[in-house]
Structure 1
Amino acid sequence: MRVTKNQYSDEFKEQIIKECQETGNVALVARRHEIATTTIHTWLKKQRQRGSVKPLPKAKEERYKAMEKQLKEVSTENDRLKRLLAEKELQLAILKDLMNCKNPR
């Protein structure tokens, strides 16, 4: 998957980031793929800042389109997480009510 000695494809970077998130262990993933942990941490930092490891295009118009797309994706994910949180809060409230009942049957 390497392009050159010090350059990796965006797909490879995203695969490594996903693997790190699944395992929760950057050092293990770095050893498995023979990549420096600092490199992976840099990718993780960029992914957190930009929402992607892919750099934004240089052209202004393309850059705006890419940013709009990222904003839409983040907004959609945020809405999904808000709904999930509301469901969990409702479940927690129901469980608390059941605990306070003397005979929940």
Structure 2
Amino acid sequence: MSSKNQYSDEFKEQIIKECQETGNVAIVARRYNISTNTIHTWIKKYRQTGSVKTLPKAERDRNKILAKQLQEVSIENDRLKRLLAEKELELAILRELTNTKNPRLRQG
């Protein structure tokens, strides 16, 4: 059996719950003779996905692609918001200039 499938999802959830209740990963790790790094990996995965269950590879790959696309769209959205704010500022300045009377234009 591979090390990734050595423990059931229910067991992993039980360990995470015990760690949360005790507030001490090291004690729980010693009690079950499991590496603290392994438990920390389970906890990290649980925090990220809300579950310790492993997704099929195709779904994991799809989620990675979607996460990357979301990040790219967020960056583009922030860039467009800044650009819009700059344009709004330019328009406000131009409106203010057109609303003020320019003495040079009157003299000509």
Structure with higher Rg: it is: 2
Structure with greater helix share of residues: 2
Whichever structure has more strand as a proportion of its residues is 1
Structure-2-length-normalised TM-score = 0.48
Structure 1 length normalisation: TM-score? 0.50
Highest RCO, 1 vs 2 (Cα 8 Å, sep ≥ 6) = 2
